[in-house]
A and B are shown apart, each in its own frame.
Chain A
Amino acid sequence: MTTELPERGAVFWPVGTGDSTTLVINEEVVMQIDLHDMAKADQDDTPEVPVVDELAESLPRVDGKPYLSVFALTHADKDHCLGFADLLSKVTIGELWATPRLWREYTDNPDGDGLCDDARAFQEEAERRVEATRKADGDPGSGNRIVVIGYDGESEHAYNDLPAEYLSGPGHSISVLDGHDCTGLFEAFIHAPFAADAAAARNETSLAMQVTLTDESGRDGRLLLFGDLAHDTIVKIFSYSEHHERPQYLEWDVLLAPHHCSKYVMYLRSIEGDDEYQGDVMDFFQKYQRPNAVVISSSAVFPEMDEPGMNPPHRKAANRYEEIVDELINTMSWLDVNEPSPVVFGVTAEGAAIVRDELVEASANAVLATGLTKSDTRRLGRIAAAATLVAKSAAAARGSAAASDRRTGPERVQQGIAADRGGESAPRTAVGFGG
Chain B
Amino acid sequence: MNRQAEEQLRALQASSGGAVELLTITERDGWTNFRVSLDTSGIPSQPGGIALRNREQFVISVKDTYPFTVPSVNVRHRRWAGTAHVQWAYHLCIYAAPSVEWDPSDGMRGFITRLVQWLQRAAEGTLDPDGQPLHPPVAYQTEEAGTLVVHPDLGDRVPWRDGGKDSSQFVLAWCVREGDRVDVVEWQDYSAVIDRVLADEFINVDPDGRPYFVAPVMLFNGQIGFEYPSAASALISGLIEQGASEEELLRWIARAGMINGYLRCLASADNDDPRFASIVLLATPSRRLEGTRLLAHISGWKLDEIGSQLARILAETINGVLTDVTDEIMDLARRWLGFAETAWMRVLEDRAEVTHRRDETTPARFLAGKRVLILGCGALGAPIAESVVRAGAASLKVVDSGLVTPGLLVRQAYSDADIGAPKAEALSARLSRIRRGLSVEPAVANAIDEIAGSTAVVGYDLIIDATADAGVRSAIERARAADAMGSWPDLVTVLIGHEAKRGVVAVSPRSATAGGADVLRRAAVRAQSEGLREWRDVLDDLFPAEPRTDLFFPEPGCSSPTFVGSFHEVTALATMMLDAALAALATTPAQLAAAAVRLPSTTPPAVSVLRWEPDWAVKDQSGTYQIRVSAAAVAEMRSEARRGARVRNRNVETGGMLLGRIDEATRIVFIDAAVGPPPDSRLSSLYFQHGTAGTQETVDYYRNRSGGATGFIGIWHTHPYGKARPSETDENGIAEILTFTGGARAIMLILAGDNGEWTGFVDSDAEPALYAEIVDQGMPRPTESTALGMPAGIKFYPGGFGYATGSQRRNRTQG
- Residue numbers of A with Cβ under 8 A of B are 276-277, 279, 286, 304-305, 315-316, 319-320, 322-326, 328, 407-417, 419-435
- B686 close to A (CB within 8 Å): yes
| Docked pose: A286 CA to B719 CA in angstroms | 62
In the complex, the answer to whether B40 meets A409 with C-beta atoms within 8 Å is yes
Which of B373-381, B737-745, B757-765 is the interface stretch? B737-745
Please judge, given known A-B contacts A323-B55, A326-B53, whether A425 and B741 are in contact too, CB under 8 Å.
Answer: yes
In the complex, the answer to whether A429 meets B692 with C-beta atoms within 8 Å is yes
A406 to nearest B CB, angstroms? Answer: 9
Please judge, given known A-B contacts A409-B42, A413-B19, whether A435 and B653 are in contact too, CB under 8 Å.
Answer: yes
- B99 close to A (CB within 8 Å): no
| Docked pose: A319 CA to B56 CA in angstroms | 9
Please judge, given known A-B contacts A279-B24, A408-B41, whether A431 and B661 are in contact too, CB under 8 Å.
Answer: no
Specify the chain B residue showing the minimal Cβ separation from A277.
B23
Q: Mark B770-811, 1 if CB is under 8 A from A, else 0.
A: 000000000000000111011100000000000000000000
Q: For residue A432, which residues in chain B have a CB less than 8 angstroms away from its CB?
A: 687-690, 729, 733, 786-787, 789-790
Please judge, given known A-B contacts A422-B741, A432-B689, whether A279 and B23 are in contact too, CB under 8 Å.
Answer: yes
In the complex, the answer to whether B692 meets A417 with C-beta atoms within 8 Å is no
Please judge, given known A-B contacts A277-B24, A420-B12, A424-B703, whether A429 and B740 are in contact too, CB under 8 Å.
Answer: yes
Please report which residues of chain B, range 707-759, place their CB below 8 angstroms from some CB of chain A when the two chains form the complex.
710-713, 715, 717, 719, 722, 727-730, 733-734, 736-737, 740-744, 746, 748
Q: For residue A320, which residues in chain B have a CB less than 8 angstroms away from its CB?
A: 37, 55
- B628 close to A (CB within 8 Å): no
In the complex, the answer to whether B712 meets A424 with C-beta atoms within 8 Å is yes
Q: For residue A425, which residues in chain B have a CB less than 8 angstroms away from its CB?
A: 696, 699, 712, 740-742
In the complex, the answer to whether B703 meets A423 with C-beta atoms within 8 Å is yes
Q: For residue B737, which residues in chain A have a CB less than 8 angstroms away from its CB?
A: 427, 431
Q: For residue B744, which residues in chain A have a CB less than 8 angstroms away from its CB?
A: 420-422
B722 to nearest A CB, angstroms? Answer: 5
- B655 close to A (CB within 8 Å): yes
CB < 8 Å: which of B17, B685, B690 contacts A435?
Answer: B685
In the complex, the answer to whether A322 meets B55 with C-beta atoms within 8 Å is yes
Which of B109-117, B246-254, B456-464, B547-555 is the interface stretch? B109-117
Q: Mark B688-706, 1 if CB is under 8 A from A, else 0.
A: 1111100110110001000
Specify the chain A residue showing the minimal Cβ separation from B8.
A420
CB < 8 Å: which of B8, B17, B715 contacts A433?
Answer: B715
In the complex, the answer to whether B12 meets A417 with C-beta atoms within 8 Å is yes
**A/B interface sample: 14 pairs, CB < 8 A:** A315-B18, A319-B21, A409-B42, A410-B40, A413-B16, A414-B113, A420-B109, A423-B711, A427-B692, A427-B712, A428-B692, A431-B689, A431-B787, A433-B727
- B43 close to A (CB within 8 Å): yes
In the complex, the answer to whether B39 meets A412 with C-beta atoms within 8 Å is yes
Please judge, given known A-B contacts A279-B24, A422-B743, A426-B712, whether A431 and B690 are in contact too, CB under 8 Å.
Answer: yes
- B657 close to A (CB within 8 Å): yes
A210 to nearest B CB, angstroms? Answer: 23
Query: Which 10 pairs across A and B sit closest by C-beta, in order of nearness?
Result: A422-B743, A423-B711, A416-B16, A408-B42, A434-B729, A426-B695, A409-B39, A412-B19, A322-B54, A420-B15
A334 to nearest B CB, angstroms? Answer: 15
In the complex, the answer to whether A431 meets B35 with C-beta atoms within 8 Å is no
Specify the chain A residue showing the minimal Cβ separation from B786.
A432
Q: For residue B657, which residues in chain A have a CB less than 8 angstroms away from its CB?
A: 426-427
**Interface hub of A322, A413, A417, A432 (most chain B Cβ within 10 A):** A432
B406 to nearest A CB, angstroms? Answer: 59
In the complex, the answer to whether B687 meets A414 with C-beta atoms within 8 Å is no
Q: For residue B508, which residues in chain A have a CB less than 8 angstroms away from its CB?
A: none
B206 to nearest A CB, angstroms? Answer: 56
B80 to nearest A CB, angstroms? Answer: 14
Q: For residue B284, which residues in chain A have a CB less than 8 angstroms away from its CB?
A: none
| Docked pose: A431 CA to B18 CA in angstroms | 29
| Docked pose: A351 CA to B8 CA in angstroms | 46
In the complex, the answer to whether A413 meets B787 with C-beta atoms within 8 Å is no
In the complex, the answer to whether B743 meets A412 with C-beta atoms within 8 Å is no
Please report which residues of chain B, range 631-690, place their CB below 8 angstroms from some CB of chain A when the two chains form the complex.
653, 655, 657, 661, 680-682, 685-690
In the complex, the answer to whether B42 meets A410 with C-beta atoms within 8 Å is yes
Number of chain B residues close to chain A: CB under 8 A:
83
Q: For residue A414, which residues in chain B have a CB less than 8 angstroms away from its CB?
A: 113, 116
- B11 close to A (CB within 8 Å): yes
| Docked pose: A325 CA to B41 CA in angstroms | 13
| Docked pose: A322 CA to B55 CA in angstroms | 5
Q: Mark B72-109, 1 if CB is under 8 A from A, else 0.
A: 00000100000000000000000000000000001001
- B61 close to A (CB within 8 Å): no
| Docked pose: A276 CA to B42 CA in angstroms | 28
Q: For residue A426, which residues in chain B have a CB less than 8 angstroms away from its CB?
A: 657, 692, 695-696, 698-699, 712, 741
- B38 close to A (CB within 8 Å): yes
| Docked pose: A417 CA to B36 CA in angstroms | 15
Q: For residue A410, which residues in chain B have a CB less than 8 angstroms away from its CB?
A: 39-40, 42-43, 116, 119-120
CB < 8 Å: which of A304, A413, A430 contacts B112?
Answer: A413
Please report which residues of chain B, range 425-462, place their CB below 8 angstroms from some CB of chain A when the two chains form the complex.
none
**Interface hub of B17, B23, B657 (most chain A Cβ within 10 A):** B23
B733 to nearest A CB, angstroms? Answer: 5
B127 to nearest A CB, angstroms? Answer: 16
Q: For residue B109, which residues in chain A have a CB less than 8 angstroms away from its CB?
A: 417, 420-421
B461 to nearest A CB, angstroms? Answer: 56
In the complex, the answer to whether A422 meets B116 with C-beta atoms within 8 Å is no
In the complex, the answer to whether B741 meets A427 with C-beta atoms within 8 Å is yes
Q: For residue A324, which residues in chain B have a CB less than 8 angstroms away from its CB?
A: 53
In the complex, the answer to whether A434 meets B113 with C-beta atoms within 8 Å is no
| Docked pose: A324 CA to B53 CA in angstroms | 8
Specify the chain B residue showing the minimal Cβ separation from A424.
B711
A388 to nearest B CB, angstroms? Answer: 26
Specify the chain B residue showing the minimal Cβ separation from A410.
B116
- B171 close to A (CB within 8 Å): no
Q: For residue B687, which residues in chain A have a CB less than 8 angstroms away from its CB?
A: 432-435
- B158 close to A (CB within 8 Å): no
Q: For residue A408, which residues in chain B have a CB less than 8 angstroms away from its CB?
A: 41-43
CB < 8 Å: which of A328, A419, A429 contacts B785?
Answer: A429
- B571 close to A (CB within 8 Å): no
Known: A319-B55, A425-B699; 15 extra A-B contacts, CB below 8 A, are A276-B24, A322-B53, A323-B53, A407-B42, A416-B12, A419-B15, A420-B744, A421-B743, A423-B703, A426-B695, A427-B712, A428-B741, A429-B692, A432-B789, A435-B722
Please report which residues of chain B, range 97-155, place their CB below 8 angstroms from some CB of chain A when the two chains form the complex.
106, 109, 112-113, 116, 119-120
In the complex, the answer to whether A323 meets B57 with C-beta atoms within 8 Å is yes
Please judge, given known A-B contacts A277-B23, A416-B12, A427-B740, whether A435 and B686 are in contact too, CB under 8 Å.
Answer: yes
In the complex, the answer to whether B786 meets A431 with C-beta atoms within 8 Å is yes
| Docked pose: A410 CA to B703 CA in angstroms | 24
Specify the chain A residue showing the minimal Cβ separation from B689.
A432
- B20 close to A (CB within 8 Å): yes
